[in-house]
Structure 1
Amino acid sequence: MRTNDEVVAYVDDLRKEQKMSINDLAKATGLAKSSLSRYFNKSREFPVNKVHLFAKALHTTSEDILGFNIPSNSIDTSGMHYVRIPIIGTIACGEPIMAEQNIEGYTHELFEEEPQKDEIFALRCKGDSMEPLIPDGALVLIHKQPTVEDDEIAAVQVDDDTRATLKKIKHVGQNVILYPINTKYDPIILNKDNPGRILGKAIHVGFDM
């Protein structure tokens, strides 16, 4: 997933390629021109919860703008690797994430480079805290890794290691802030009094799996 600055630069490039002024883009998205100017000069963070408006205006997808690695049917699949990926259900306390009792099924995905064994897993999104980018029921592929960068979306183990949640990550001092995209939900703060563990980075959102 792209960082905030990379998203802004990509949207600006798309706008210029399509010969749209900021005023044109403001009209197409229904957002104020002053707000768009602040996004482009990076004095305000890009509104991830409004990315679908930019996607529609610029004739692309939210996933493309945010930089999720979603293979397209137009890509030449010769030489690509078809990988069987476990779908993780409930995560038992203290159990390895790939433990048999945690796996509720499998999905398959194409990769240009074959991932290492147990490097990729999938989670079924439950709830609307990450809408509109990740709707309820979406299947999200996770690259297993213990850390992610700010503004990336991660699967995080919380509630005494019994539940995994998908949230946007921000590091603030000794705290890790888990931000939902849907603004009707409050962030979750992880620290020594409320611990959690990053399981991996979201790399693919599937809508029809």
Structure 2
Amino acid sequence: MNSLEVAKRIEKIAEEKGISGAELARRMGTDRSTITRYYKGDRKISMDEIPKFAEVLEVDVIELLLGYDVKNVSLLSERKIAIPVLGPIACGDPILAKENIESYIYKPADSLPSGDIFALQAKGDSMEPSIPNGAIVLLRAQPEVENGEIAAVLVNGDEEATLKRVRKENGFIWLVPDNPKHELKQISEDYPARIIGKAISYEMIL
């Protein structure tokens, strides 16, 4: 993403809509000098700010990122949803807090199930061959999954999210890797864990 090009698109759209720099700053919850620095290229716009700018300006995120007016371009006519990709989990913060969001990916709205959708990047080979190392996994936020489904699970004091298959047997819950080289873990007082989402699909990002 070229931050300056995005800033110039934001400036142009704001001018066309009669939104001054001061008013844009107010709507964004920042100060006028920050907006000026964006426009001049002295400060980069981060990926997690793009959906907010799009909401404030009432345009699609694709228009800000690529310069296309998706209402008039048939190939980009599908409404896109910004899906947060979580990085390290900030202790004590809600799972989708800004501090936990590393980047965004964009998917057509009609390709997604209902509910809050987020993503994680698989790290390591514990879920191979089902989920390759490095894959971006889409998940629907939910506190439970059915027996045998793959879930995102918070471990390590709610600071680390891991992907594991959930097995329920005789009142016990096990976190099971698909790769037999890794050991399974039983959720217990000694190994507390909390399900935060169900895996929907994955894709490899080149």
Report the TM-score when normalising by structure 2: 0.59
Structure 2 equivalent of residue 206 of structure 1? 203
**Letter of the aligned partner of 1:178 in structure 2?**
L
Identity over aligned residues, as a percent?
A: 45
- Deviation, structure 1 residue 79: 8.0
- CA separation of 1:104/1:128 partners in 2, compared to 1, >3 Å: closer, same or farther? same
**Letter of the aligned partner of 2:181 in structure 1?**
K
Separation in structure 2 between the aligned mates of residue 111 and residue 204 of structure 1, nearest angstrom: 15
Superposition misfits of 4+ residues, deviation over 3 angstroms: 77-81, 113-117
Q: What are the superposed Cα offsets for residues 144-177 of structure 1, whole Å, 9 maximum, x if unpaired?
A: 0000001110000011111011011111233210
CA RMSD of aligned residues (A): 2.1
Structure 2 equivalent of residue 144 of structure 1? 141
- Deviation, structure 1 residue 78: 9.1
Structure 2 equivalent of residue 106 of structure 1? 104
Unmatched tracts of structure 2, length 5 or more: 1-74
Alignment map for 1:51-62 (pairs within 5 Å): none
Unmatched tracts of structure 1, length 5 or more: 1-76
Alignment map for 1:165-184 (pairs within 5 Å): 165-184=162-181
Pick the structure with more helix per residue. 2
Q: What are the superposed Cα offsets for residues 69-110 of structure 1, whole Å, 9 maximum, x if unpaired?
A: xxxxxxxx9985421100000012221011111101100112
Residues paired across the two proteins, number: 132
| Higher relative contact order structure (alpha carbons within 8 Å, sequence separation ≥ 6) | 1
2:128 to 109, 113, 131: 131
- Deviation, structure 1 residue 192: 3.0
Q: Which deviates more, 183-192 or 77-86? A: 77-86
